Amino acid sequence: MNEVTLIIDGRPVTAAENATILQAARQVGIDIPTICYHDACTANAICRLCVVEVEKQRLLQPACVTQVREGMVIHTRSERVERSRRTILEMLDSAVDLSDAPEIQAQLAEYGADHNRFPAAERRAPALIDDNPMYVRDYAKCVLCWRCVQVCAEDAQYTFALSFDGRGFGTQIGTYFDLPMPETTCVFCGQCVGVCPTGALKPRREWLLEQGKTPDEIMELTRAERRKSRRAKQ
């Protein structure tokens, strides 16, 4: 495989010619923050947190999808990059409940985000959805990273139970026709829960424990729900 040489933060780096800037940086231990990127998903550059400055390019480039080129000179922590990342984090913080997203919380601290930067911003506050025995969906915590939709579709499971509806600020992940999860094609594989970075998708047992239920109460609740569901099917 052909290789290219570039400079990242003043360090010469040799990378495969089809590598992304993110991969080239990671291979030499340079950390570039990400939210929507996940190794198991096709990168689609939604969140823009990974932007870097590439000399001779006017716009900041998303490192997760931009391919390396011979002679590139890249700055991953310039003032412009940090300002952009801080603004993205502050916008998320103003609209989304990030209390269950420790990685994003750490990024907020690292970039010195102002928690009151957008005091008039509307917060996303849809009600939590508890419609199946396996996991709950709390879209007030959703950053629309798209990972769950991707693993439910071509990136892993080919189930296509999840999609999105709405536009702009009203965009929301959900099921087709807003059906309850048991009425969709969902096979409860759990992959969406596994890739969610914010706790918007959470195992129901974990959620019940957080609500103060004891393991015995949860077992009893689960048995009662199974009995109810069997009766409904008869």
> Contact residues for ligand SF4 (CB under 6 A)?
142-148, 173, 195-198, 200-201
User: Measured from the CB atom, is 33 or 197 closer to ligand SF4?
Assistant: 197
User: Measured from the CB atom, is 48 or 213 closer to ligand FES?
Assistant: 48
- φ, ψ of residue 212 in degrees (nearest 5): 95, 5
User: Measured from the CB atom, is 13 or 143 closer to ligand SF4?
Assistant: 143
Binding positions for ligand FES, rule: CB under 6 A: 34-37, 45-50, 62, 64
- The option from ligand SF4, ligand FES, none interacting with 184 (CB < 5 to 8 A, set by class) reads none
Cα–chain center distance at 229: 32
- The option from ligand FES, ligand SF4, none interacting with 37 (CB < 5 to 8 A, set by class) reads ligand FES
**Residue 25 C-beta: closest distance to ligand FES, Å:** 12
User: Measured from the CB atom, is 13 or 142 closer to ligand SF4?
Assistant: 142
Return the C-alpha torsion angle 64, 65, 70, 74, nearest 10.
Answer: -40
- The option from ligand FES, ligand SF4, none interacting with 173 (CB < 5 to 8 A, set by class) reads ligand SF4
**Residue 228 C-beta: closest distance to ligand FES, Å:** 41
Q: Give the span between the Cα atoms of 6 and 69, in whole angstroms.
A: 7
**Residue 35 C-beta: closest distance to ligand FES, Å:** 5
Taking CA atoms, 79 is separated from 88, 103, 188, 211, in Å, by 14, 22, 44, 43
Are residues 204 and 133 in contact, defined by beta-carbon separation less than 8 angstroms? yes
Helices (H), the chain: 21-27, 79-95, 102-110, 147-152, 191-195, 204-210, 215-233
